[in-house]
Amino acid sequence: MTSDTTTATLHRHEREDMAGLAICARGLRLRGGRGEVYGPVDIDVPAGELVVVQGPQGAGRSSLLLTLAGRMVPDPASRLVVLGEPLPARRRAVQRRSAVAGFAGIDELDEAVAVGTALRERLAWTSPWWSRVPRVDQQTFARYVAPVFGPRPLPRAGTVAWDLDEVDAMLLRIALAAVRGPELLVVDDVDHVHDDARRQMVWSALERLRAGGVTVVAAVASLDEVSRMDWQRPPLQLNLATGPHAVPVD
């Protein structure tokens, strides 16, 4: 049997065993030149769930989320299947079907650019190269970002990103990530919004995305975040401060 055939057989078998799971990991870990980055982590996440990853600075939260979204490669012994695709072999497929928000150096807003322009740039990035993306007016802006902002008043399309407060800036980053309708969304550093009451608005936005069928994995430094927030439905929890980890299927 060729190696290609072996890979294909494993892929089919894992698809059958993991029906209904957006993420399945066993012994997932990453080591760097300075030692353990994260892991080992065992997780089973049903499709359409919200997972809150809690861990202090240096616990590997960002690296773990980027691994789940196919943007980083774990250690070779790790077993990871995301959206039915084995990683890292099918990284490109997972990258197409997932999105990231809240990551320093990846999706930060250009503070000198109007938010409507930021949306237009994202639409252009996700559209066929030959298509023309018109200027984003307020109606178009609202169509794309209102599902994330919910009852919160929308910024004007001409508002410069510098003038957004921390809640609106985070919500806009999430809305931009959701433009292409990802099946998986990973969100880092939710506690960049420092006040609990205002951070609740971000979690409520992520719950709305979950209600729409998106699997959401979001990270915070606080170890008691879930107990401090109000939830429409309790999220799954992954605590990176307590050794090997598992998120069970309910």
- Asked if 233 contacts 48 with a C-beta cutoff of 8 angstroms, the reply is no
Instruction: Label residue 195 exposed, middle or buried (CB < 10 Å: 0-12, 13-18, 19+).
Output: exposed
What pLDDT does residue 140 have?
A: 96
User: Is 80 exceeded by the pLDDT of residue 56?
Assistant: yes
Going by their DSSP bridges, the two strands 215-220 and 50-54 should be labelled as: parallel
Instruction: Label residue 26 exposed, middle or buried (CB < 10 Å: 0-12, 13-18, 19+).
Output: middle
Q: How confident is the model at residue 36 (pLDDT cuts 50, 70, 90)?
A: confident
CB under 8 A, 24+ apart: contacts of 34-39: 36/60, 37/63, 38/63, 38/64, 38/240, 39/64, 39/74, 39/75, 39/78, 39/244
User: Is 60 exceeded by the pLDDT of residue 14?
Assistant: no
CA distance 189 to 57: 10
Domain boundaries, the chain: 3-247
What pLDDT does residue 57 have?
A: 82
Per-residue pLDDT averaged across 229-236, rounded?
A: 96
Average pLDDT over all residues of the chain: 89
CA distance 204 to 214: 14
What pLDDT does residue 5 have?
A: 29
Higher pLDDT among residues 170 and 4, named by residue = 170
User: Is 70 exceeded by the pLDDT of residue 6?
Assistant: no
CA distance 110 to 32: 31
User: Is 50 exceeded by the pLDDT of residue 12?
Assistant: no
CATH 3.40.50.300 at 3-247, yes or no: yes
What pLDDT does residue 162 have?
A: 96
For residue 126, what are its two tokens? 């996700």
Taking CA atoms, 216 is separated from 45, 98, 188, in Å, by: 10, 10, 11
For residue 204, what are its two tokens? 């409520």
What pLDDT does residue 243 have?
A: 57
CA distance 229 to 197: 8
Residue 108, C-beta contacts closer than 8 angstroms, at least 6 positions apart: 173
Within 13 A of 232's CA, how many CA atoms are on the CB side? 12
pTM of the predicted structure, to 2 decimals: 0.88
Look up residue 67 and give its amino acid.
Answer: T
pLDDT digits (tens, 9 = 90+) for 145-190: 999 999 999 999 999 999 999 999 999 999 999 999 999 999 999 9
What pLDDT does residue 10 have?
A: 36
Per-residue pLDDT averaged across 192-207, rounded?
A: 96
pLDDT digits (tens, 9 = 90+) for 202-227: 999 999 999 999 999 999 998 899 99
Q: How confident is the model at residue 8 (pLDDT cuts 50, 70, 90)?
A: very low
Residue appearing with tokens 């691994």:
67
